[in-house]
Amino acid sequence: MKKILIINSSYRKKNTFTVLQNIRRILLNHGYDIEIINLKDYEVSPCYGCEYCIYKNKCNIDDDMEFLMKKLEECDGIVIGTPVYINNMSGNLKTFLDRTCRWFHRPVLEGKPVMLVATTAGSGLKNTFRSLEEGLVQWGVDIVSEVGRTISNLDKEIEKKEILPFIKHLNTDGMSYSVTMKQITTYQVQRALANNIFEVDKNYWKEKCWIDKIYYRPKKVGVIGKVTGSLLFNILVKNIKPVDKKL
């Protein structure tokens, strides 16, 4: 049975939680195994910025983050919910994402479908989704849909176009999904950085057989994506200067 992890990053079990519960009900009806994580129930300290995780693949801070990251690795699909705070994601969610920094170098969630959920009094939905996409694309995940609600339409039914891409992705193991140009270009940046900067990243990308590929799943990339991706990668590799970085 496919396993879905739903993350509520609000301190409250209120507006965002209500929408997440509506999504949960639909997913349960489709026979998935669902777990809801309320971030407030876990200890997630702010990132110290020591970069230890980038070199050693493990965080120096002893809190619940490794446990939560394992949960993300083990599930088949992820639903991430946030209230809009100052036109962006909640601080809790940003803190959580900062702590996954090593995945921006060495992605482990590639190809998993993600649904983004945000609630707001009125403003900031677009910016919140854009901000989340900019970050999460580096996890290697497929962001398949966005569900935004204002406090006046919290209980609005979840539309087919909001939920079906997620379900289709899960049921076809991603075959239904078209990789975006944003994913292809982000991949080239990560690939070029792995190639030129950090030895530990380069070894990982080689092990995964990604270092010479145009994308994690090359078959999903069309001709334009292949040409653009190759051009970008070649430019980056020539221009990113190796830096002497040691922990």
Instruction: Using CB under 6 A, list all residues that contact ligand FMN.
Output: 10, 12, 14-17, 83-87, 119-124, 151
Taking the complex as a whole, how short is the minimal distance between the CB of residue 79 and ligand FMN, in angstroms?
A: 14
Taking the complex as a whole, how short is the minimal distance between the CB of residue 118 and ligand FMN, in angstroms?
A: 8
For the chain, the first-to-last Cα distance in angstroms comes to 42
Nearer to ligand FMN, 150 or 180 (CB): 150
Nearer to ligand FMN, 18 or 176 (CB): 18
The residues that bridge with 145 in the sheet, in sequence order, are: 115
Taking the complex as a whole, how short is the minimal distance between the CB of residue 88 and ligand FMN, in angstroms?
A: 8
Q: How many residues does the chain have?
A: 247
Q: Alpha carbon of 213 to those of 106, 205, 208: distances in Å?
A: 15, 10, 10
* Token pair recorded at residue 118: 């945000």
Nearer to ligand FMN, 120 or 190 (CB): 120
Taking the complex as a whole, how short is the minimal distance between the CB of residue 22 and ligand FMN, in angstroms?
A: 13
Place of tokens 């039914």: 157
Taking the complex as a whole, how short is the minimal distance between the CB of residue 34 and ligand FMN, in angstroms?
A: 18
* Token pair recorded at residue 44: 């997630």
Nearer to ligand FMN, 128 or 188 (CB): 128
Nearer to ligand FMN, 31 or 122 (CB): 122
Nearer to ligand FMN, 58 or 126 (CB): 126
Taking the complex as a whole, how short is the minimal distance between the CB of residue 126 and ligand FMN, in angstroms?
A: 11
